[in-house]
A and B are shown apart, each in its own frame.
Chain A
């Protein structure tokens, strides 16, 4: 455990130094250095553990009021530690330059007052990384909850580093509310686990059998961790926080923190077991609902970052759908399907961490120089920033599930898992469930292609729609390096799918055994997935080779024939302008009309009257109805109630004395009646 203690020490120490250095730019460098060093150390410690499938434990003699300071790193933690370390390394690397840029931009914040944010920001970045690592290695309920709270609360301070923008402040506030409400079920969950098993250690939980109300525990975990993971309809904080936070924070939010929610669900499953079959149905249902609804809401968003945020919820949905499918397959004793689906789950977690961070970095790079990410103002960026554009194209292709890349790789395993599951239960009703999961994944993938051709096509291609788009510049060298690194990671993952699968094999074994001791993954079931991935890499190479050949052929022919340029063909109209291009709203309008019941766009059309109508305005907006539902059902009534209760507090002493008097009388009456 020593390397992990060093990682925690580095992060906390770096954070404190950064805080102490305060307004100086060196504070950012200290935080950056400690994050990078901690990442490198953590990666070096975690990779061998994952490959061996070993787990290590340790404890520190720290006096906690309850519980113990015990740590365990098992393969399940290791899988999640990898993206956390990689992304906090990148985040740390970008931290100084991003923060300087942010404070330069805002003339109010710059100068001595603005720099005061440096130390705090560096401190909280380090603490966030430390909190994530601590959450993943804690093996005690109390320690886990402490780490979870640290990890949950710190982003509140990071989302709005300059604390000037109303939208940012609103996003941070939303985040805080969601983090608080999400932590409530977890408190109850771990309290129940502790009372029943009589201990706070995870090992004691895992050894304990015969949970009463296991179903309730599962539901608490699903709701509590699902809020963090961003399952629809618990996702209300995601679009706000992800679209407002600065780049180096967003990649941690979307690539790592959301995954911790999934980690929580999986960890609880390993503690309380596979449970009833309805748990699998619930996970599949929640995943399918979340996936479909999030991508539908995502593809009507007016800006790039909000689309990406919704797509995070969609990918979490895919992962939950596959996890539920794997649990169902384990219930039905279908080892091949279970192995494929579980491998798909873990590979998709890694894939999503890579391509989503890539896309968020690219979108932030665009926003830095144009100060907008709205589709109606962008366009034509590819010609001006070819490097960022190409990386974004690669990320979009990966997330839309386009073959040679890593997004389709993990989806391929999940598709194959559902197909194998239906084969295994041939002739039973359960086959319908696997078919349903398969179909849902297909539908989500189809919509994702829509959403990401829209994102890249409208944002980066065509003609610039406004002057803001003309001002776009390539980001700084460091950012370019991060983009290239993440793009390379996407390509590398798709080529090395079979290797990654081999690395995951020990985890698949141990995870399945922890969920259900009776269930065993035979080698034959595991080989299936590795042969799929091997052939996938080979066909990917074939596609790439054929594509390059065709491009080469085309280039040869064109070199002989020569080329020319002309305006685009607009139905014979000779002066097409950039404003005539399709915009975000018009691109998704037909889909929004077709799926009205799910998307619920609001259209206000002007009433045109008279022969010479005045200038009118038409507006299409798509408020997130699933998030608004909470407002209507809970927040609004609570607000009314508290408004009403405000009247009780009049500030007059005589009224308070009256309250005390009434309370006394009631207490007296109760005491007399009771005795």
Chain B
């Protein structure tokens, strides 16, 4: 058991440390596509360090609820990472029904964020709050449904079991369609849930068109740093989930000789573990690149067209469900 604990913990710490890299990757891809040099890859790290040294400014109307979303976002992100496996080994904590907790964690972060936006008393932040509440109300059942059909197909109730312990999709050819469609559906949910184009534009400077950014307009200093970090964590969680679904479980699972008779790691096991973690990391970065490509190649939708993204995601999820139904 302790042989499993350490690598799982390493995976968690790695996730926490590398999450702010993803926005950097996306920005770099967008810059390259636009023919620019772009910001440094580690820009978000620098921003976070700088923000932590600044004094926050509070709007007059705000109460204690204004200060909650940052800590709530980080706490719920870490909790979600506790049950989400990174690489071949299971997650740090795994219990039946933990995939539902993932959606619950997002709900907690969102609840606090919407309240904080309404707490400023600003018309614009109210607008962001209602949009976030609306789109997340549409996204939540779909996200849960995607996880349900994965659990149905794998016949497992834990995320670790669903993502690492299942059948090898390469062995049965009918299944790859399912994994691909499921990943597609989750990717379509990733875009609006992480305020990316085509649902939301993180770089816009017009408050009328924003969702996530407009809700944190008034946050500054350490509050903003925590919020930025929490949203990077959320992007990381979505990417890691999609990577876990897409990577063939044959590579995810450790080979037979990974442990010796005493239950400790053999050299072969350690190399397999590193290989699977590296592969996962690569897949996560690839998803970030893909997000960057989508952002470079598409325009933002009009607000009333955003629900169409969810319709498409739902349709693909239904097809995926039908493909593995019997």
Contacts and interface: CB of A to CB of B under 8 A. Distances in A.
A457 B75 contact: no
Residue from the set A427, A446, A567 with the largest chain B CB neighbour count within 10 Å? A446
Contacts of A259: none
A558 B56 contact: yes
A565 B55 CA distance: 10
Nearest to A400: B111
Contacts of B149: 435
Interface in A420-462: 420, 422-423, 426-428, 431-432, 435, 438-440, 442-443, 445-447, 449-450, 453-454, 456-458, 461-462
A435 B55 contact: no
A531 B307 contact: no
Q: Which of B74, B97, B125 has the most CB of A within 10 A?
A: B97
B148 interface: yes
Interface string A541-562: 0110011011101100110011
Contacts of B64: 382, 386
B61 interface: yes
A324 interface: no
B136 interface: yes
B105 interface: yes
B78 to A, nearest CB: 5
Contacts of B67: 551, 554
A591 interface: yes
A8 to B, nearest CB: 42
B75 A543 contact: yes
Contact of B71 (A427, A539, A550, A568): A550
A567 to B, nearest CB: 6
Nearest to B125: A568
A423 B141 CA distance: 19
A424 to B, nearest CB: 10
B13 to A, nearest CB: 14
Contacts of B321: 435
Nearest to A594: B307
Interface in A575-606: 576, 578, 580-582, 586-591, 593-594
Interface of B is mostly: helix
Given A462-B119, A581-B123, A400 B52 contact: no
A535 B98 contact: yes
Contacts of B59: 565-569
Interface stretch (B217-225, B240-248, B249-257): B217-225
Nearest to A546: B75
A374 B115 CA distance: 18
Contact of A535 (B93, B115, B123, B139): B93
Interface residues of A, number: 88
Interface stretch (A25-33, A172-180, A411-419): A411-419
A154 interface: no
Given A426-B155, A561-B53, A563-B56, A554 B226 contact: yes
Nearest to A444: B141
Nearest to A454: B133
Contacts of A418: 148
A570 B125 CA distance: 8
B274 interface: no
A419 B121 contact: no
A564 B121 contact: no
Contact of A431 (B52, B226, B325): B325
Interface in B8-51: none
Interface in A380-413: 380, 382-383, 386, 389, 393, 397, 400-404, 408, 412
Interface residues of B, number: 86
Given A380-B61, A446-B141, A588-B130, A402 B148 contact: no
Interface string A293-317: 0000000000000000000000000
A382 B58 CA distance: 16
Q: Is the interface of A mostly helix, strand, loop or mixed?
A: helix
A401 B106 CA distance: 11
A3 B120 CA distance: 54
Contacts of A435: 145, 148-149, 152, 321
Given A397-B111, A456-B115, A558 B60 contact: no
A576 B122 contact: yes
Contacts of A266: none
B79 A569 contact: no
A457 B121 CA distance: 10
A432 B324 CA distance: 12
A244 interface: no
Contact of B79 (A443, A454, A542, A571): A542
Given A403-B105, A566-B59, A446 B137 contact: yes
A502 B121 CA distance: 46
Contact of B60 (A445, A447, A565, A582): A565
Contacts of A419: 97, 148, 151-152, 157
A532 B144 contact: no
B55 A402 contact: no
A50 to B, nearest CB: 25
B71 A554 contact: yes
A403 B76 CA distance: 9
B286 interface: no
B80 to A, nearest CB: 10
B97 A532 contact: yes
A412 B119 contact: no
16 contacts: A402-B107, A423-B155, A423-B157, A431-B325, A435-B145, A442-B103, A450-B134, A461-B121, A539-B83, A547-B75, A550-B75, A561-B56, A564-B55, A581-B126, A587-B133, A593-B304
Interface of A: 379-380, 382-383, 386, 389, 393, 397, 400-404, 408, 412, 415-416, 418-420, 422-423, 426-428, 431-432, 435, 438-440, 442-443, 445-447, 449-450, 453-454, 456-458, 461-463, 528, 531-532, 535-536, 538-539, 542-543, 546-547, 549-551, 553-554, 557-558, 561-571, 576, 578, 580-582, 586-591, 593-594
Interface of B: 52-61, 63-65, 67-68, 70-72, 74-76, 78-79, 82-83, 93, 95-98, 100-101, 103-105, 107-108, 110-111, 114-115, 117-127, 129-131, 133-134, 136-142, 144-145, 148-149, 151-152, 155, 157, 207-208, 217-218, 221-223, 226, 303-304, 307, 321, 325-326
Given A450-B134, A535-B97, 7 more contacts: A403-B108, A422-B148, A457-B114, A561-B55, A564-B57, A568-B59, A587-B133
